[in-house]
Amino acid sequence: MSAEREHILREMGLGPAWKLRAAPAPIPADEVVAPSPTAAEPPREIAPTIAPTIAPTIAPTVATTAPLAAMGWDELAATVTACRQCRLCEARKQAVLGVGDRNADWLFVGEGPGAEEDQRGEPFVGQAGKLLDSMLAAIGLKRGNDVYIANAVKCRPPENRTPAPEETATCRPYLERQIELIQPRLIVALGRPAAQTLLQSEVKIGAARGKLHDYRGIPLIITYHPAYLLRTLLDKAKAWEDLCFMRHTMQKQKDR
């Protein structure tokens, strides 16, 4: 095994925690990806309840008086907890809103709760979550400390399948409201469903990573989902580069 590969494996959880050793290269200005027309749209005024797209016969159990766009955290949490706007509500144990610092500079967005998350009500608490925690630690971050973690969909897709486009679309206003409330300096999309939900366009991770995207004026970086990294050792080296890029981008945001 080459020294480089051995080094990478050590960094990727088959050894001690990741450590940031070198400052990442500056991002050339031409690497900033222009926001898609949809991403540049101003926040939408969202109706008090989201129009059901899948199970129109299921009525929300909590009548919300405020439009989503006017909700604070408590109302938003209650609305998500009671949400029955798509079929994902049928098999969930509970909806999982998100976890962390509600004034965080860093927002990480995953795909959707898995079995453990559904059980415990917190995102990324299983194996993928352990890797995410190591990734955070590698750039000096800690869950809950200037970091908020959310998902594209708030309810567990059965059998841990990828959420369907109509499910991410139905749940998206909740994520949008979370972003409006948090006002992070940087959003990190973990994997394709999160990236596509946020950018409202087709994304290929291999092509989209390493570039600066834009979500309504907030820089957005796309990287691999930790669950994918657990299966695909070789791409962990790229994830490491992405972490350095994130850290560098945040520093630039703070220096502005």
Residue 100 is a binding residue for ligand URA (CB under 6 A) = no
Taking the C-alpha atoms of residue 77 and residue 35, their distance in angstroms, rounded to an integer, is 29
Residues 123-142 touching ligand URA, rule: CB under 6 A, are 123-124, 128-129
Which one, 109 or 138, has the nearer CB to ligand URA? 109
Residue 98 is a binding residue for ligand URA (CB under 6 A) = no
Least distance to ligand URA, CB of residue 150, Å: 9
Lookup: tokens for 18: 């990741």
Q: Binding ligand URA by CB under 6 A: which of 79, 85, 151, 197?
A: 151
Alpha helices (H) in 12-106, listed in sequence order: 73-82
Which one, 124 or 245, has the nearer CB to ligand URA? 124
Are 223 and 155 in contact by the 8 Å Cβ rule? The answer is no
Are 185 and 141 in contact by the 8 Å Cβ rule? The answer is no
Residue 110 is a binding residue for ligand URA (CB under 6 A) = yes
CA distances from 55 to 65, 73, 153, 184, 196 (A): 21, 26, 16, 33, 23
SS3 assignment, position 84: coil
Residues 211-230 touching ligand URA, rule: CB under 6 A, are 227
Q: Considering CB under 6 A, how many residues would be counted as binding ligand URA? A: 12
Residue 117 is a binding residue for ligand URA (CB under 6 A) = yes
Only one of the segments 23-31, 58-66, 76-84, 108-116 lies at the binding site for ligand URA (rule: CB under 6 A); that segment is 108-116
Least distance to ligand URA, CB of residue 48, Å: 27
The set of residues, in sequence order, having a beta carbon less than 8 Å from that of 248 and lying 6+ positions away, is 23, 24, 25, 26, 27
Phi, psi of 255 (to 5 degrees): -80, -15
Q: Binding ligand URA by CB under 6 A: which of 11, 101, 111, 242?
A: 111
Which one, 111 or 167, has the nearer CB to ligand URA? 111
Are 137 and 226 in contact by the 8 Å Cβ rule? The answer is no
Alpha helices (H) in 139-219, listed in sequence order: 165-182, 192-199, 205-208
Binding site for ligand URA (CB under 6 A): 110-114, 117, 123-124, 128-129, 151, 227
